[in-house]
C-alpha cells in the first residue's frame, strides 16, 4: 500500500505532533485496522511522557481503539473478517505459548504487547495489531461508547464480577472519575447498595445520577467511621490513586470483605496485618480482562445501558485532550474521532 495515514506521535515528553506514515501491511498473525475512535485514558499521560528513542519514530499513544479490519494476515482465524468492527484495549495481543497463556490467563501473558507503550496505538487513522488482541464490538453499541469500555469499563466490570459480592451486598466506590463513574453504574446494575466516596461536594449530584445510594464527602466527614457506623461494606473498589484514604478504609470492610485496587499511586499503603487477619479481609489488585471478558463487559453495558459519559474531540486535538485530562477537566472520558476521507 502506497498511501499514507496521519497519526499523532510523541516528539518530546508530553508533546504530540502530527505526522504522516506509509500505511503498513499486516503480518501473518496481524490485522490492519482503520480506526474510527480512540478513547483517552490516564495511562496515556504516562505513556506520552516517555521521550522518543534516538533514531526511532515517536510512539503513537492510545489503547481504547475501535475501528474496522481493512486487511488481515494469512494466519488470522476466519472469525475475523475484513470490514468487521473490532476493538483493542490496553492489551495488544497475547503470545499463546507462555506459562500464563497455557493456563488460560491471557491477560497476564508474559509477552503481551501494550498499545501506546511497546507498540503504536490508536491516536491515528490506522494501526496494525495481533489478532489475539481483537475484541468483537456489539452492533448496538456506538464506537464512541465502546472505546472507553475497552479499558475503564472492563477494568471496573471485572473487579466487581470477581469481588465475591452478591446482589444485595453493600459496596463502596472510591473516586468518581473515568474509572469510578463506570464502577458506580456497574455496581448499581449488578444489584449492590452503592456508596460513593469522593473529595468535595461538587460530585455528589453526579454520583446519585450515576446510581449511588449514598455519598460521603471526605472533606466533611471520616469515610471509614461513616461506613462502619452504617454497618460496614462487603467490598471497596478503589479507582482513585489515594493510598492514605484506601489504607484508612480497610477497617470499614465487613468480615471477609475485599478491597480491590484499580487506581495506581506512588505512595505505599499502610496495612495492619492483625486487622486483615482477624476478619479475614482481602486486599487485591485487578487488571483489565481478556478479550472474551471485555466482550462480556460490552454486552452488559449494552443490555443495561451502563455507558461511559464522553466528550468528543478530533484526534488532531490530542494534545488538548491530554491537557484536559491532566488538569482533571475530563467529564468523564474523552474520545478522539477520526474523520477519514481515504
Average pLDDT over residues 140-150: 98
Q: Tell me the C-alpha distance between 260 and 171, whole Å.
A: 11
Average pLDDT over residues 124-131: 98
Q: Tell me the C-alpha distance between 116 and 61, whole Å.
A: 4
The pLDDT assigned to 339 comes to 76
Sign of CA dihedral 72, 339, 334, 307: negative
What residues does 129 pair with on adjacent strands? 31
Q: Tell me the C-alpha distance between 112 and 108, whole Å.
A: 8
The pLDDT assigned to 2 comes to 67
Strand residues in 143-231 grouped as ranges (E): 170-174, 193-198, 214-217
pLDDT tens digits for 177-211? 999 999 999 999 999 999 999 999 999 999 999 99
What is the residue-averaged pLDDT of the chain?
95
Q: Which of 280, 316, 295 is nearest to 88 (CA)?
A: 295
Residues in CB range of 23: below 8 A, 6 or more apart: 1, 3, 4, 5, 32, 126
Determine how many CB atoms are found less than 10 A away from the CB of residue 85: 18
CB burial string 268-278: b at 16+ within 10 A, e below: eeeeeeeebee
Q: Tell me the C-alpha distance between 258 and 273, whole Å.
A: 14
Sign of CA dihedral 317, 65, 155, 45: negative
Q: Tell me the C-alpha distance between 233 and 225, whole Å.
A: 12
3-state secondary structure of 144: helix
Q: What are phi and psi of 310, to 5 degrees?
A: -125, 160
pLDDT tens digits for 18-69? 999 999 999 999 999 999 999 999 999 999 999 888 888 999 999 999 999 9
**Percent share of the chain, pLDDT over 90:** 93
Q: DSSP state, 239?
A: -
Q: Tell me the C-alpha distance between 202 and 198, whole Å.
A: 9
Indicate if the pLDDT at residue 104 is higher than 90.
yes
Is the Cβ–Cβ distance between 215 and 196 less than 8 Å? yes
Q: DSSP state, 150?
A: I
Q: Kindly indicate the confidence band of residue 342, based on its pLDDT and cuts at 50, 70 and 90.
A: very low
Tell me which of 127-131, 132-136, 283-287 is least confident.
283-287
How much is the pTM?
0.95
pLDDT tens digits for 248-303? 999 999 999 999 999 877 789 999 999 999 999 999 999 899 999 999 999 999 99
Residues in CB range of 29: below 8 A, 6 or more apart: 73, 75, 76, 130, 131, 132
3-state secondary structure of 2: coil
Amino acid at each position: 500500500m502506497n498511501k499514507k495515514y496521519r497519526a499523532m506521535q510523541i516528539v518530546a515528553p508530553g508533546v504530540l505532533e502530527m505526522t504522516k506514515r506509509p500505511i503498513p501491511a499486516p503480518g501473518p498473525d496481524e490485522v490492519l485496522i482503520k480506526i474510527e475512535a480512540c478513547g483517552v485514558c490516564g495511562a496515556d499521560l504516562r505513556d506520552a511522557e516517555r521521550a522518543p528513542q534516538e533514531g526511532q519514530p515517536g510512539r503513537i499513544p492510545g489503547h481504547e481503539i475501535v475501528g474496522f479490519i481493512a486487511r488481515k494476515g494469512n494466519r488470522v482465524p476466519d472469525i475475523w473478517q475484513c470490514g468487521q468492527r473490532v476493538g483493542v484495549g490496553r492489551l495488544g495481543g497475547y503470545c499463546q505459548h507462555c506459562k500464563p497463556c497455557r493456563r488460560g490467563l491471557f491477560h497476564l501473558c508474559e509477552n503481551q504487547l501494550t498499545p501506546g507503550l511497546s507498540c503504536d496505538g490508536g491516536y491515528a487513522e490506522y494501526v496494525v495489531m495481533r489478532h489475539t488482541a481483537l475484541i468483537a464490538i456489539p452492533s448496538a453499541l456506538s464506537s464512541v461508547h465502546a472505546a472507553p469500555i475497552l479499558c475503564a469499563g472492563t477494568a471496573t466490570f471485572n473487579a466487581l464480577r470477581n469481588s465475591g459480592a452478591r446482589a444485595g451486598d453493600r459496596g463502596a466506590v472510591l473516586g468518581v472519575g473515568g474509572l469510578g463513574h463506570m464502577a458506580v453504574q456497574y455496581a448499581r446494575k449488578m444489584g449492590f447498595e452503592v456508596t460513593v466516596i469522593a473529595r468535595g461536594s461538587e460530585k455528589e449530584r453526579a454520583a446519585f445520577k450515576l446510581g449511588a445510594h449514598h455519598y460521603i464527602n471526605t472533606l466533611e466527614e471520616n469515610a471509614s467511621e461513616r461506613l462502619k457506623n452504617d454497618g460496614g461494606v462487603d467490598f471497596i473498589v478503589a479507582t482513585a490513586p489515594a493510598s492514605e484514604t484506601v489504607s484508612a478504609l480497610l477497617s470499614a470492610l465487613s468480615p471477609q470483605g475485599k478491597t480491590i485496587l484499580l487506581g495506581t499511586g506512588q505512595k505505599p499503603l499502610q496495612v495492619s496485618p492483625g486487622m486483615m487477619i482477624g476478619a479475614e479481609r482481602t486486599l487485591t489488585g485487578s487488571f483489565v480482562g481478556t478479550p472474551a471478558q471485555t466482550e462480556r463487559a460490552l454486552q452488559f453495558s449494552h443490555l443495561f445501558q451502563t455507558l461511559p459519559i464522553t466528550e468528543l474531540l478530533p484526534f488532531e486535538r490530542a494534545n488538548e485532550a491530554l491537557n484536559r485530562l491532566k488538569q482533571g477537566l475530563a467529564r468523564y472520558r474523552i474520545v478522539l474521532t477520526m474523520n477519514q476521507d481515504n
